[in-house]
Amino acid sequence: MSRLRAALTPYLLLFPGTLWLAIFFVVPTVVMLSLSLQSGDVVNGYAFTFNWHSYVDGISTYHDQIVRSLVYGLVSTVIQIVIGFPVAYWIAFKGGTRKSIYLFLLLLPFLVSFVLRTISWQFFLSDNGLLLGPLKSLGLVPQDFHILATSAAVIGGLAYNFLPFMILPMYVALERIDPRVLEAAQDLYASKAQTFLRVVLPLSLPGVFAGVLMTFVPATSDYVNASVLGGTSNTMIGNVIQNQFLVNQDYPTASALSFTLMALLLVGIFAYAKALGTEDVLEVAAR
């Protein structure tokens, strides 16, 4: 009996997780895959017909938005690394005893809802709003200058909204670096720049990788920033998918676009992981 129990134990332990994955990942994925291959309309219903056209049509109609989303996602991720790395570095090495306070301050704005924060940016950046109103009345910027409804507004919004998810993993990676390693570098006559480039930076890469995973993917598929801060020529693929699902009820096209996006993101991530040295990075990122 006890041996049977021992044999079953791992399965029982895995059961809740498996069930969770089955209900919230496998089932929706299968449903979406099925939807993407269906044809019909809302009034008459959709039926499964291996309708590959939804992929062909979806991609040919919306390739602009797909490319734009990848570009926006990439640019915002790079901005986040540029802004986030120094912050993470500073908190990890110069934060001293106040580290947790700084981290708390970093997270504080994110206790407010994501959409609400984006809308307050819309309010702040409005054509005659708090920022541009005074600048325009002082004549510092031309009257028809605007920030909203431009790529810059959307990319800025993305970079702002996902920043903590970039900083936290980088902070964790930097914080883990053993001070003795740095001392060793010094003992071996490495200059500060050398220590940073040859010791700190390589050791922090897994954190950067984890950060990119956590920001590039949601930023690319985001639709809130583009719909609140963007205009007619800043539509991202997330907006298209949302629109096809929740306005036009064109489920096949929406699902096909979702799968296309998923495939592109997976390819991108694995290519990136390969470039950084897969096993190493995935393993450390998972810590």
Partner 1 sequence: MNDPYRQDPALLRGMTQRRLGRRDAFRLAGLSAAGLALAACGVQGKGTARPSSSAQAQSEVEKFWSGKTKNGHVDFANWPLYMDPKQPELKQFTQQTGITVNYKEVILEMPSWFAKIQPQLAAGQSIDYDLMVVTNGLHFQRLVQLGYLAPLDHSKLPNFAANAAPEYKQESFDPGNVYSIPWASGITGIAYNPKYVDTPPTSMADLWNPKYKGKVGMMSDSQEIANFGLFAIGVDPDKSTEADWEKAAAKLQEQRDAGIVRKYYDQAYTDPLAKGDIWLTMAWSGDVFQKNVSDGTDLKFVVPQEGGTIWTDNMTIPKTATNPVDAIMLMDFFYDVNVAAHLAEYINYVTPVPAAKDVIAADAAKATGDDKKLLEEVASSPLVFPSEQDSARLRNYVNGKTPEEQKKFESIFQAITTS
Give the interface with partner 1 as residue ranges (CB under 8 A).
Answer: 1, 3-4, 7, 30-31, 33-35, 37-38, 40-48, 61-62, 64-65, 126-129, 144, 146, 148-149, 231-233, 235, 239-240, 243-249, 251
Nearer to partner 1, 3 or 180 (CB): 3
* Angle CA 108–114–120, to nearest 5: 90
Structure tokens at 41: 């309309």
Of residues 80 and 234, the one with the C-beta less far from partner 1:
234
The answer to whether residues 174 and 88 touch, using CB atoms and an 8 Å cutoff, is yes
Looking at the Cβ atoms of 38 and 161, the one nearer to partner 1 is: 38
Give CA–CA dist 139/141, Å, rounded.
Answer: 6
Between 185 and 240, CB nearer to partner 1: 240
Contacts 24+ apart (CB under 8 A), 194-201: 200/89, 200/174
Measured from the CB of residue 105, what is the shortest distance to partner 1 in angstroms? Answer: 31
Closest by CA to 259, choosing from 54, 114, 113, is 54
- Nearest distance from C-beta of residue 240 to partner 1, angstroms: 6
Q: How far is the CB of 278 from partner 1 (least distance, A)?
A: 24
CA distance 236 to 239: 5
Smallest distance, Å, CB 266 to partner 1? 19
